[in-house]
Amino acid sequence: MSTTTEFAQSNQLQTDLTIDRTNPFRILVVDDSADLRALFSTLLKRAGYETMSANSGAECLRIVAENAVDLVLLDVILPDMSGMEVCKQIKSDRPGILVLNISGMKTSASNAVEGLEGGADGYITKPVDARTLLAHVNALLRIKKSEEALRQASGHFRAVFESTVDAMFVVDDNSNCVDLNPAACALFHLSKEEMIGKRFLDLVKGSLDWEDLECDWQEFLKQGHRRGEFMLHLFDGSTRAIEYDARAAFLTDRNLWVLRDIEARKRAEQAIQEAHDQLEVKVVQRTAELMAANAFLKQEIADRKRIDEARKEAEEKYRGIFENAIEGIFQSTPDGRFLSANPALARMFGYDSPEQLIKDRKNIEREHYVDPERRKIFKRLVEENGIVHGFELQAYRKDRSIIWTSENVHAVRDESGKLLYYEGIVEDVTLRKEVEKERLELLRRLVRAQEDEQRRISRELHDQMGQSLAALLLGLKSLKDSVHIEPARGQIERVQDITTRIANELHSLVRELRPTALDDLGLYTALSNYIDEWSEQSNIPVDFHSNGFLNQRLDSQLESTVYRIVQEALNNVLKHAKAQSVSIILERRANRVSVIVEDDGVGFDVEELMKTPARNRRFGLLGMQERVMLVGGTVNIESTPGVGTTVLVHIDTSRDIGGRTNE
Amino acid sequence: MLPILVVADAEPRRRLADILRQAGYFVAEANSGESAINLAYSVSPKLILMAIVMQDSNGLEAAAKLRRISDFQSLPIILLGSVPPIGMNDEPLASLVSGFLNIDASAKELLATVRSHLPVNDQ
């Protein structure tokens, strides 16, 4: 059979039809001829289709109603119904089923059209050759398959469309919204119904940053694609950052707009930027702080270095002074140990090295001071004044010989005021002391010699001249008594007067030189007499008080010193003071004699006077001081210009005058 | 009443000074180390908040200068900065400053720090 061969040849067509379909298409063959039904069924089965068959219109409709059929191969001429009726019925009941009409060979074009108008999807004419049949069936089913795939795809698309978080708008070329998804509703806070039919451009008007919406819209339709970002201004006044991706004409008259809300992302970006900026600021700030700290530390290090160098330099200088000084330099503790000593100090005390000295003298008070009491006085003076100048003491050398030293010492204290140690400079003044002692001895001898000489002259004057004058006066008296010639008597009386005056002057002279009363009657009586006479002569009242001198004799040198001081002081009053009155107090108490001579005269500046060279001094201050010094006393002169002058003399009588030293 | 002296550039200084004033403190302000020293002489503050970095001066150097003046030897000085300087607890910084406070510190932190550095009877 030629047809069979042709069918066999068509096998190749089946392949691309069955692919991708789990179930083969099912085809219902409807023909009143059993032969043709069998032929078609065999043909279709060999092409990979499932087949069913029906011999009438009624059976066809029953099978279609009860079974899933994809395509009906329908003979338009059936015994019970017209093919067009069956077709209409199938299309109305099951519109998805394809209908392929098979018409008789003589079927007119009007029949074919009638069949198509009944809803048939295609027709072929008898006699049917296998190729034509399969080509038609395949073509129709290919379309169905495509549609199915499309429907499936569209279902997928829909699912994505409905559930995506991006807002999607399907709009026509006029920008009217045709479809949109729930995300779009959520973004715009509008319902689907409110937006469908509205122009999409109206929804984004004022937000989309296109220059001219309508022009750009046409441009977009031409270009087919646009993307970008804009700030969406919503009807409630809020804004959202939006990224959009628009595709034109994905279908005819259909354009897709996808809007993505990137507000959160923008915020995150901004937050990151801010954090970054802040970090940068922090880094800048921190860097500045580090630089400040570095600058400070550098400065500090430089300062410290400078101070350190200055300190080192000072130390070296001190070290140099310490090592090379002629004076002894030391540090010693309050409990009497040397902390340090320089070579000069060691030499001064007969040691080979400072170390030896420090090692040897563990108790300065006992091992160093000849008179331990002196140490106590030293400590007290430092405690009171913080510093002592020219403190003199006798100290033992290593060989127990004694030297005189003079010290300048100050106390070193910590911040709380606690005494840490003494620091001082020592000078060996033994030689000076000896010279001084010698000088004083000479002075003392001189004074004594002078006193002795004065006493001798005074005695001589008093004893011999005084006696002679007394005798002369007596002679003159008896001469006058024996002469009765008046002019001669007058002459004698004048000689008597002269002689009396001479006797008085002699008396004065004797008293000035050396009052015999001082040797004979004692200091108090001699002074009393002298003061009375002085007062009478100068016409200045003197207030004289004494205490402890009645019937008490002192060392003769001391007595004459006191007498001379009063004499000198009164001389000064007479010569310079222009005083109205003078007060003298003489007092003896235990081992101390005090003399105070006070006047209310013009006074003077003591310091100024002491500064002037001795030879220019107005009166015997120096004499007074030397005399007092010889008997181990002190003189203080206080004078205020316009107020008066006070001379204070204190003499310690407990000491042996001969061995007295200046301290 | 003795003031708290805040020494820093204008921006952080005003904020800190405002917080302190609202808390009832008497506050004096200076914008450089030099003016801080001058001001300290005239108002004798009971506490100084000193920025490490200022436009015109170095807070640490200013603190060191203050410390050398006998009147301010025991005056509490709190440093203001972003991070405590390295070696804050060692010399020479340790004797220089009494504490550190972040210059962006909250009002609460600021007041707590200030309170902890004031004499007990002055709080």
- The pLDDT tens digits of the residues spanning A145-155 come to 887 788 887 88
pLDDT at site A2: 42
pLDDT at A233 exceeding the cut of 80: yes
Q: How confident is the model at residue B121 (pLDDT cuts 50, 70, 90)?
A: low
Number of independent structural domains in chain B: 1
pLDDT at A617 exceeding the cut of 50: no
| Nearest Cα residue in chain B from A304 | B92
| Nearest Cα residue in chain B from A281 | B82
pLDDT at A305 exceeding the cut of 80: yes
Give the minimum alpha-carbon distance from B21 to chain A in angstroms, rounded to a whole number. Answer: 26
Cα dihedral A451, A456, A461, A466 in deg (nearest 10):
110
Closest CA to B50 of A286, B42, B58, B24: B58
Contacts of A298 in chain B (CB under 8 A): none
pLDDT at site A125: 81
Give the minimum alpha-carbon distance from A282 to chain B in angstroms, rounded to a whole number. Answer: 7
Contacts of B59 in chain A (CB under 8 A): 292
Between chain A and chain B, how many beta carbons pairs sit less than 8 Å apart?
39
The 10s digit of each residue's pLDDT in A501-539 is 888 888 878 777 776 677 777 888 888 888 888 888 888
Closest CA to A393 of A410, A409, A411, A370: A370
Q: How confident is the model at residue A601 (pLDDT cuts 50, 70, 90)?
A: confident
| Nearest Cα residue in chain A from B53 | A289
Contact state of A289 with B82 under an 8 Å Cβ cutoff:
yes
Contact state of A296 with B64 under an 8 Å Cβ cutoff:
yes
pLDDT at A292 exceeding the cut of 60: yes
Contact, A72 vs A28, CB < 8 A?
yes
Average pLDDT over residues A597-609: 79
Contact state of A285 with B53 under an 8 Å Cβ cutoff:
yes
Nearest to B53 among A282, A292, A300 (CB): A292
Which domain, by its residues, includes B74?
Answer: 4-122
Contact, B63 vs B79, CB < 8 A?
yes
Nearest to B83 among A286, A291, A295 (CB): A286
| ipTM score for this prediction | 0.72
Give the minimum alpha-carbon distance from A232 to chain B in angstroms, rounded to a whole number. Answer: 36
Average pLDDT over residues A307-327: 81
Lowest mean pLDDT among A416-425, A447-456, A493-502, B100-109: A447-456
The 10s digit of each residue's pLDDT in A76-114 is 888 888 888 888 888 888 888 888 888 775 555 556 666
Contact state of A286 with B82 under an 8 Å Cβ cutoff:
yes
| Nearest Cα residue in chain A from B83 | A286
Q: HEC states along chain B?
A: CCCEEEECCHHHHHHHHHHHHHCCCCEEEECCHHHHHHHHHHHCCCEEEEECECCCCEHHHHHHHHHHCHHHCCCCEEEEECCCCCCCCCCCCCCCCCEEEECCCCHHHHHHHHHHHCCHHHC
pLDDT at site A21: 53
> What percent of chain A lies above the pLDDT cut of 70?
90
Q: What CATH number is given to the structural domain containing B109?
A: 3.40.50.2300
Average pLDDT over residues A266-275: 86
pTM: 0.36
Strands A239-251 and A254-261: antiparallel
Calpha distance A58→A65 (Å, rounded): 11
Q: How confident is the model at residue B106 (pLDDT cuts 50, 70, 90)?
A: confident
pLDDT at site A583: 92
Closest CA to A232 of A159, A169, A161, A173: A169
Give the minimum alpha-carbon distance from B24 to chain A in angstroms, rounded to a whole number. Answer: 30
Any A CB within 8 A of B78 CB: no
| Nearest Cα residue in chain A from B90 | A297
